[in-house]
Structure 1
Amino acid sequence: MAEALVSNPVTTTFSTVSTVSTESSASTTSEPSTSTTTTFDNKNKNNKNHKNPKKTDKQGRERVASDREYGGDKSGFLYKSGIPTLRSSAHRVKFKKKCRKHDPKPTDANGKLTNKTWLPKDLLQEDVFSYSQEEHDLKGAVLALLQQCDAEIVGDFDLNPQTAAAAATTAEGIGSVDDDNKAMNTTSTTSTTTDCRETRLEDFRVPVQSIWRKVNGGNCEDTQKYLSDQVATNEEFLQVFDKFVVQVALPYLKERLLAAVAKEKEEVGGQEGTSTEEDTDTTTPITFYYQRPPTLRLQPGPGWAKVKPHNDAEYGHQNGELNFWIPLTDRQWTGVDLWSETVPQQDDYRPIPANLGQAISFHGSSCKHYVNANASNHTRVSLDFRVGVQGFFDPYWQMKGTTDDHGRKEVVL
């Protein structure tokens, strides 16, 4: 891949473009939300000293998240209902599916209609690729962003019980050392304790009322608006994200795009060698429109709710764009993966495993996808965004009856 691709990209802010969320706001739960009673008291939600009686589900398990939230017991977190994922985006669809019309009109670099609204078929196939976490510390940028958020609204980090026990064990050993070695051992122990208490995204705790909708006594809508504003205005995070897109995602996409276009021309020509050098020349300028800011998702656990299978075309996305999904927490801890069809309308869902330092590209506009419920005691954190390609994507089009809170940034590579 030529270095010239990322040396001097031309970028412009494109704020009139419609984008919506990768994961639908609709969710399913193991039982209707009306069958449970929230412990959140609207009259006393601002009173930190208020003590609500403990509530339990049918199995007698407490549904109180923490003393900060409800004045209850924080020995366990149980997200019995509410939305499955807190996200930094919002989209609204007013019309029924049959009334949602897809009629974008993509143009080429000269402004002429291309009459192409689908990306090349080889580009529609899902793929997992790696990137350097040292050069593109998306995880660290998100961790810093969450630490700057209001803990009462979005949540806070809890020390993992195992690391806490390790820290306590280490601390107990300080008093047993000889006086001559106290200074050295104290320094070593302090360092070890600090390492044990390392902040992890998996240990982020979302307040229970922040995933409950207002009609059920929560403040989900206000929390998501707050998180959206934090992501959109955090310049340090956006700089890390922009660098990843321009130096990693777009060169990767351009390379796959040129190869897919060349292959289609060979197939149309009926023989190999019919594609020109321009078809595979990585220095040929191509305009991309990427979603900015991206969507940050927090899926706390253990929880029962999950995102239902859906494709993004239902919510106003075009077939001329590609989805990128980046896990920022360890799937071995959360047990959460992105699930997708192999091809549209097959319903052959299977997980797409992606570890830290990897990203998934897939065609979410046509293939239905979802994330499974988080049954672990950890929180799943991920980023996702989409990239439209000139000639296949219309940056001025928006499906009638839809609204969103994203913009697009135009980059020429």
Structure 2
Amino acid sequence: MLRPLTDEASRAELLKLYEALVLELIAPWVASIIGCDRMLFQAIPCVRVHRPGEFSIGPHIDAQYQLPDGSLNAYLPLTSIDDTNSLYLESAPGREDFHPLRLAYGQFCTFYGAFCTHFAVENLSERTRVSLDFRVVPGGCYAAHIDEQPPDFRVGGYYSEAVRAQGAAGDSGQAEGAFCVSARGRPYWRHGFPHTAN
């Protein structure tokens, strides 16, 4: 099912919609809270399929995988989720008040996955969960120069980068203040299956 994502032409429409979600909704929202004009985002979202009777991923924090401290997780189910077909997380680092996300189709959640433990349990429901998850990092939380970025998490590799458009709309094709992609990442094994073989 996910193999078409390894082909650039086949994944183009998904990436177009994904980038629109990040540029038009996620980046402006995060920027309004943090106050930044630069945002990094995972170049390819992770696509998760959690079928009945399957176990997905054990308890972890993303810092275990060297993701940066300022990393914010975005979780977008493409199906309704509410119990064992969901993601479980704690409300703050170390709180251990684990609860499943209860989201309907079209809703998404953000959380501090760098240090909030999250995991999935065995799916005991009769419903398959299909979801996208990805990380965004406010620019001030990440080195601007590629030689200062960890090799596995560089702009142009794991991350794409967006900046606020400056000047008149005609200069960049974007309205002033809108986010636009300044550097695009590429599929990478850290993006998970099916890119693990790349």
Work out whether the TM-score is over 0.5.
yes
2:78 is aligned, of 302, 316, 328, to: 328
Partner of 1:64: none
Task: Verify: 1:246 aligned to 2:27, yes or no.
Answer: no
Partner of 1:45: none
For the residue of structure 2 that corresponds to 1:361, the secondary structure is: strand
Shift of 1:234: 1.3
Task: Verify: 1:387 aligned to 2:136, yes or no.
Answer: yes
Partner Cα distance (1:326, 1:377) in 2? 20
2:80 touches 2:103 (CA, 8 Å); kept in 1?
Answer: no
Partner of 1:347: 96
Stretches of 4+ moved more than 6 A in 1? none
1:341 touches 1:350 (CA, 8 Å); kept in 2?
Answer: yes
CA offset digits 1:129-179 (Å, max 9, x no partner): xxxxxxxxxxxxxxxxxxxxxxxxx3xxxxxxxxxxxxxxxxxxxxxxxxx
Inter-CA distance 296–363: structure 2 relative to 1 (3 Å threshold): same
Partner Cα distance (1:319, 1:232) in 2? 33
Shift of 1:375: 1.6
Inter-CA distance 315–252: structure 2 relative to 1 (3 Å threshold): same
Shift of 1:341: 1.6
Task: Verify: 1:337 aligned to 2:114, yes or no.
Answer: no
Q: Greater Rg, structure 1 or structure 2?
A: 1
Please, which runs of 5 or more residues in structure 1 have no aligned partner? 1-153, 155-223, 259-284
For the residue of structure 1 that corresponds to 2:114, the secondary structure is: coil
1:300 aligned partner, one-letter code? R
Task: Verify: 1:295 aligned to 2:72, yes or no.
Answer: no
1:302 touches 1:378 (CA, 8 Å); kept in 2?
Answer: no
- Structure 2 counterparts to residues 268-283 of structure 1, below 5 A: none
Partner of 1:77: none
Q: Percent identity?
A: 28
Task: Verify: 1:236 aligned to 2:26, yes or no.
Answer: no
TM-score w.r.t. length of structure 1: 0.35
2:110 aligned partner, one-letter code? S
Shift of 1:237: 1.2
Task: Verify: 1:359 aligned to 2:136, yes or no.
Answer: no
Larger % of helix: which?
A: 1
Inter-CA distance 307–289: structure 2 relative to 1 (3 Å threshold): same
- Structure 2 counterparts to residues 190-229 of structure 1, below 5 A: 226=3, 228-229=5-6
1:231 touches 1:293 (CA, 8 Å); kept in 2?
Answer: no
TM-score w.r.t. length of structure 2: 0.70
Shift of 1:377: 2.9
Shift of 1:293: 1.2
Partner Cα distance (1:371, 1:232) in 2? 32
Task: Verify: 1:372 aligned to 2:121, yes or no.
Answer: yes
Partner Cα distance (1:232, 1:369) in 2? 33
Instruction: Count residues in correspondence.
Output: 160
1:374 aligned partner, one-letter code? N
Partner Cα distance (2:150, 2:11) in 1? 27
Please, which runs of 5 or more residues in structure 2 have no aligned partner? 165-198
Larger % of strand: which?
A: 2
- Structure 2 counterparts to residues 47-196 of structure 1, below 5 A: 154=1
Partner Cα distance (1:409, 1:357) in 2? 24
Shift of 1:364: 0.5
For the residue of structure 1 that corresponds to 2:141, the secondary structure is: coil
Inter-CA distance 407–307: structure 2 relative to 1 (3 Å threshold): closer
Shift of 1:370: 0.8
CA offset digits 1:223-274 (Å, max 9, x no partner): x7x465147851111111111111111111112224xxxxxxxxxxxxxxxx
For the residue of structure 1 that corresponds to 2:97, the secondary structure is: coil
Partner of 2:180: none
Partner of 1:316: 66
Shift of 1:348: 2.2
Partner Cα distance (2:7, 2:49) in 1? 14
Inter-CA distance 294–232: structure 2 relative to 1 (3 Å threshold): farther
Inter-CA distance 371–233: structure 2 relative to 1 (3 Å threshold): same
2:43 aligned partner, one-letter code? R
1:232 touches 1:293 (CA, 8 Å); kept in 2?
Answer: no
Partner of 1:279: none
2:85 touches 2:127 (CA, 8 Å); kept in 1?
Answer: no
Partner Cα distance (1:292, 1:250) in 2? 14
